[in-house]
Amino acid sequence: MREHSLLCQIKRRWVKTTDSAHGLRKYPNLAQGLAVTGLNQVWHSDITYIRLPRGFCYLAAILDAYSRKVVAWSMSMNIDAALVLEALNSAIAIRSPAAGWIHHSDQGVQYACRGYVDAVIGTKGQVSMSSKASPYDNAKAESFFATLKKEEVHLEEYLTLEHAKERIGHYIDDIYNRRRLHSMLGYNSPEEFEATMEEAAA
C-alpha cells in the first residue's frame, strides 16, 4: 500500500524555514534560464522541516541540477549555518566541482552568511539566489522535498532526530538516488543516469 501511495496521508502544519529579512548581501539569480549541460555545473540547495513528537528537526539537501541526484544532505535540531555548511562541505568533498560552478539557493540567512558564502567562493564557485518569495526559482529542490514528504516523511512517525536521520537517509541514498525513476532522466534513477554519462564519456 505504501509503494502505491494508498496509505492515509495527513496534511501537516507548514513551518517557515526561510528568513530573508536580514542585512546580508543577496546575490543575483545566475541559474534562471541557464542551460545545464553536465554534472556539477549547478547545485540547488534548500532546507525543509521534519516533525518530531516534540518540535521539529531540519534537513538541508544539495541536488545536482543535471542528474537530480542528492549530492549531500545533513540534519539537525537547529536551522542554522552549521546545518547547511555540513551538507555543503560534504558535497564539495564528494564532487570537487570545477571553477565557475554555481550554488543556487533562496535568500535565507543561512545561505547568505559569511561562512557559507566564503565556502562557495573558496572553491571558485558562484553564489546564486532566487528572488524573494519565488519558490519556482529553486524548483528542483522544492520538487525533491515534495517527493520526500509524500513518499517517506508523511508516512512515518519519527521518534528522535537519530530515528529521522536513519529513515530519511535510507530513503535518499537507497531509494531516491538509486531506484526512483525520473522521466526527465529517460526513466533512469539519478545514479543510473550519472553512470550512463560516465560510460559515454569513457
| Domains contained in the chain, CATH given | 42-201 (3.30.420.10)
* pLDDT tens by residue, 107-125: 999 999 999 999 999 999 9
Rounded CA gap, 120 and 111, in Å? Answer: 10
Name residue, grid cell 554534472: 39
How high is the pLDDT of residue 38?
95
8 A C-beta contact, residue 15 and residue 72: no
Residues of 127-145 as b/e, b for ≥16 C-beta within 10 angstroms? bbbbeeeeeebbebbbebb
- Confidence tier at 198 by pLDDT (50, 70, 90): confident
- Confidence tier at 8 by pLDDT (50, 70, 90): very low
Neighbours of 106 (CB within 10 A): 26
8 A C-beta contact, residue 102 and residue 37: no
Rounded CA gap, 24 and 105, in Å? Answer: 14
Q: What's the pTM value of the predicted model, to 2 decimals? A: 0.86
3 state DSSP class of 46: strand
Rounded CA gap, 108 and 184, in Å? Answer: 28
Rounded CA gap, 104 and 138, in Å? Answer: 7
8 A C-beta contact, residue 198 and residue 75: no
For helices 114-121 and 81-95, what crossing angle results, to 10°? 10
What would the mean pLDDT of 64-76 be, rounded to a whole number?
Answer: 98
Rounded CA gap, 51 and 34, in Å? Answer: 35
* pLDDT tens by residue, 120-165: 999 999 999 998 766 567 899 999 999 999 999 999 999 999 999 9
